[in-house]
Each structure stands twice: as structure tokens, then as C-alpha cells.
Amino acid sequence: MMYPTHKKLGYAFGLAGIPVVSAISTSEFVQNNNLLPAFGIDTLQFSNPFSFIYYALIVCTALWASLYGSGFPDIDSPGSIPANANIFNKGLSFIYRITGVNHRGKFSHGIDSLTIVFFITYSFVTFLIPSAISGLLTEESLSNNMYLFMLNFGKGGAFISLAQVFVIFAWIGAMSHMFGDMSTREGVYFSGVASLITNKRTKVKIVPTFIIKPFSNVVDTSQWFSTDSHWEISFRQAVNIVIYILIGVNVLYFLGVSIF
Ligand SMILES: [Zn+2]
């Protein structure tokens, strides 16, 4: 699948993820363990304009992250747009190249291997960095200062809270990439780790080739479910419609309309 399609899918998954992650973020378990900043309609204080800025900041971070994540798996192909997007991606792309991970390789396009990468990053952000900077940001210094309100969401401070949101939504974006590639003929690895260990190249596709085969006797099916085809353009347009629907869902969610 091409980058413009992955981008659209990233937005769609990110928009779908916002109400879900927001609902999870306010749960007691998440809050007691500082796993995510609490965000969403319940956290809005109408007398405090900062709470709206805070909500907007999280939503923007979430969408930016899901867009980033949607291109993340293709960092392994040096010519791709994500591989050249920034210094970090360029560096990662270089590491992929010298370690011999090819495009749609077992590591870069595996659901579990991607999840492991983002889980390690999340753990680093959630548990390692806070203990490192806990000496710098004390709870009193934050809660007693009006100007530090923005820093006070999530007990670890603004930077960590936004980093947590970024990593979670980047993972959601990466899963959207898996969904996109899964709907093409090439498919993706369900378990990148298992295929690395067993050296099997079993891939997951949404539409198996045997369903397309019978049609090939009647019509030209070479373009069906293939990358950069008319089919992909139609797919992209369909995702576009879904994006508009999801924007509507998010507006309703923000207005406090219960959709679940
Ligand atoms: Zn890909």
C-alpha cells in the first residue's frame, strides 16, 4: 500500500482510538499507576480554559502520532517517504538496512514485533524517565503554580503524559499500517517473531488469493487488491468517508453524547 493510503488509514484509526483510549485513561487502574493522563469529556472544567487547551493538545498529539505510526513499518524501505521523514527515521532506516531487514520483512511488518517495539518505548517513557526526573518535578511545585497547570496533567508531568499518548497512538497508527497491507495481496506477518524463529513465511491477508483465482479466468484480476491500482484509489476514497464519519463521532463524544 502507498503512503497516501497509509496516511488516511492512520487518521481513521487515530480518530477511532481517541474515544476508546480516553475512556480507558480515566479508569482507576490507569490513573493509580500513572499509565496515561486522564483526558476526555469528564476531565473538562468549564471554568478553566486550560483544560480545553490540554484536551486539544492531547487530541493533536494523538493524531500526529497515529500519522507517524501509520508510516513507521515502511521505514525499512530506504526509498519510502517515512524512511526520509526526519533524522530519527533516517537513523532507524539505516539500522534496518545494516541489519538486513527488508521491506515487509518479518520484523518491520509483524503485529507482535511492532507491538514489542512500542511496548518497550512506552515502558521506557512511563517507568524509566519519570524516576529519572522525579527529583526535578515535585507534586507541590506543580500544583501550587497556576502557570504550571499545563504541566500538572498526569502525575509525571506534561512531557511524559504527551509522550505516553504519542507512543500509544503511534502503535495504533502502526496497526493501521498492518491493516492496510493485510488488505493487499502481499499480506503481513501475523507474528513477526514466530516467523523469524521458525523461518516460516506465512502471511495474513484479509482477502485470500484463492478467492480471486476463479475470477481470473473471466476477467483481468491482476489489479485486484494490488498496491498502486485503481482498487487502492477506491480503497483510499472509502477510508476518506470513514474519516468524516469518525470526525462526527469525535465531535459527538466531545459534546458528551453517549455513543456506547
Ligand atoms: Zn508496508
For residue 247, report the distance from its CA to the centre of ligand 1, in Å: 25
SS3 224: coil
Spatial separation of the C-alpha atoms in residues 23 and 9, rounded to whole Å: 22
Is a pLDDT exceeding 90 seen at residue 176? yes
The rounded percent of the chain whose pLDDT value lies above 90 is: 28
Closest among 5, 159, 15, 12 to 82, alpha carbons compared: 5
For residue 101, report the distance from its CA to the centre of ligand 1, in Å: 13
Residue 259 lies in a domain: no
Q: What is the pLDDT of residue 145?
A: 54
Q: What is the pLDDT of residue 70?
A: 95
Q: What is the pLDDT of residue 160?
A: 78
Residue 260 lies in a domain: no
Spatial separation of the C-alpha atoms in residues 195 and 205, rounded to whole Å: 15
For residue 17, report the distance from its CA to the centre of ligand 1, in Å: 21
Which of 259 and 134 is assigned the larger pLDDT?
A: 134
For residue 109, report the distance from its CA to the centre of ligand 1, in Å: 7
For residue 195, report the distance from its CA to the centre of ligand 1, in Å: 17
C-alpha grid cell, residue 237: 476514497
Which residues are registered as beta bridge partners of 188? 204
Residue 36 lies in a domain: yes
For residue 175, report the distance from its CA to the centre of ligand 1, in Å: 11
Q: What is the pLDDT of residue 208?
A: 64
For residue 73, report the distance from its CA to the centre of ligand 1, in Å: 6
Which string of b and e fits 29-66 if b means at least 16 CB within 10 Å?
Answer: eeeeebbbbbbbbebeeeeeeebeebbebbbebbbbbb
Residues with Cβ within 5 Å of ion ligand 1?
73-74, 181
The number of helices, as runs of H, and strands, as runs of E, in the chain is 11, 0
Average pLDDT over residues 121-147: 67
Upper half-sphere CA count for residue 40 (Cβ side, 13 Å): 22
Q: What is the pLDDT of residue 88?
A: 83
Residue 238 lies in a domain: yes
Q: What is the pLDDT of residue 143?
A: 57
Is a pLDDT exceeding 80 seen at residue 74? yes
Spatial separation of the C-alpha atoms in residues 103 and 83, rounded to whole Å: 11
Residue 72 lies in a domain: yes
Q: What is the pLDDT of residue 102?
A: 59
Spatial separation of the C-alpha atoms in residues 15 and 225, rounded to whole Å: 25
Q: What is the pLDDT of residue 154?
A: 46
For residue 204, report the distance from its CA to the centre of ligand 1, in Å: 13
Spatial separation of the C-alpha atoms in residues 138 and 83, rounded to whole Å: 39
Between the two ends of the chain, the Cα-to-Cα distance in Å is 32
Residue 163 lies in a domain: yes
Average pLDDT over residues 58-80: 90
List, for residues 192-223, the tens digit of each pLDDT value.
777 777 766 667 777 766 676 777 777 776 77
For residue 125, report the distance from its CA to the centre of ligand 1, in Å: 26
Spatial separation of the C-alpha atoms in residues 86 and 91, rounded to whole Å: 9
Mean predicted lDDT score pLDDT of the chain:
80
Residue 25 lies in a domain: yes
Calculate the alpha carbon distances from 34 to 26, 29, 57, 163 in Å.
11, 8, 18, 13
Average pLDDT over residues 225-229: 75
Average pLDDT over residues 137-160: 57
Q: What is the pLDDT of residue 132?
A: 60
Residue found by looking up cell 500509544 in the block? 168
Is a pLDDT exceeding 70 seen at residue 150? no
For residue 246, report the distance from its CA to the centre of ligand 1, in Å: 24
- Domain extent, residue 208, equals 3-254
Is a pLDDT exceeding 60 seen at residue 24? yes
Residue 24 lies in a domain: yes
Return the DSSP state at 128: I
Q: What is the pLDDT of residue 118?
A: 94
Sequence-distant (6+) residues with CB within 8 A of 72 are 82, 114, 170, 173, 174, 177
- Of the pLDDT bands very low, low, confident and very high (cuts 50, 70, 90), residue 119 is very high
Do 96 and 108 form a contact (C-beta atoms < 8 A)?
yes
Could you give the number of structural domains in the chain?
A: 1
Closest among 210, 211, 213, 192 to 202, alpha carbons compared: 192
Is a pLDDT exceeding 80 seen at residue 15? yes
Calculate the alpha carbon distances from 119 to 29, 36, 140, 156, 223 in Å.
18, 14, 30, 18, 37
